[in-house]
Amino acid sequence: MSLKDKLTEDMKTAMKAKDEGKLRLSVIRMVKAAIKNAEIDKKKEFSDAEVVEVLAREVKMRRDAIPEFEKANRPDSVEQLNQEIAILLEYLPQQLSADEIRKLAQEVMDQVRAQGPKDLGKVMGALTPKTKGRADGKIVNQIVRELLGTS
């Protein structure tokens, strides 16, 4: 079953759940719309890998919005965003832990023979495809900078 099919099935289940499934239903509808819009922009049907990219982008948007809502003292909105993120994460591949990212980064640094901060671009270029959809790019960048000795 493709990821888009799973989203459709889960949307039907959420519709049947009435009140209990309202948030899940709205999140799934929103992500299906985002996928459809991206497909229209690219003029092609998306594969599961491309759907994962859209899902990761949606999670990132929500994570980036949380600090703004915290600054505005809106705990209700922060809680809703966290719930939406939890729902979206169910459709993404298992997320990498910081230790796993650090290990992958170290392997890539050894492969590209990274010497220091000037090699950040080389390391990120080789590491990003390995972590795509499985880790937040900000966290990956932060870990690589830490390993290269920049902050």
**Do 73 and 13 reside in the same domain of the chain?**
yes
Q: In CATH, what number is assigned to the domain containing residue 138? A: 1.10.10.410
The token duo for 62 is 């929500």
Sign of CA dihedral 93, 98, 100, 104: positive
Residue 53 has pLDDT above 90, yes or no: no
Q: In this structure, are 74 and 11 located in the same domain? A: yes
Looking at the structure, tell me whether residues 140 and 112 fall in a common domain. yes
10 Å CB burial of residue 114 (0-12, 13-18, 19+) is buried
Least confident of 53-57, 78-82, 131-135: 131-135
**Cβ–Cβ under 8 Å, residues 66 and 78:** yes
Give the pLDDT band (50/70/90) at residue 151.
low
Tokens of 106: 């170290």
Name the band, by pLDDT with cuts 50, 70 and 90, for residue 20: confident
Distance, C-alpha 26 to centroid of its chain: 18
Reported as type and span, the H/E element at residue 39 is helix 22-42
pLDDT tens-digit readout, 122-131: 888 888 888 8
Domain region containing 9: 3-89
Q: What is the pLDDT of residue 150?
A: 66
The reply to whether 29 and 68 lie within a common domain is: yes
| Distance between CA atoms of residues 123 and 107, nearest Å | 10
Tell me, what's the pLDDT at 61? 92
More confident residue, 42 or 115: 42
74-114 pLDDT, tens digit per residue, is 999 999 999 999 999 899 888 888 899 999 888 988 888 88
Based on the fold, state whether residues 50 and 104 are members of the same structural domain: no
Same domain, 85 and 135: no
Question: 68 pLDDT exceeds 90?
Answer: yes
Can you give the pLDDT at residue 19?
77
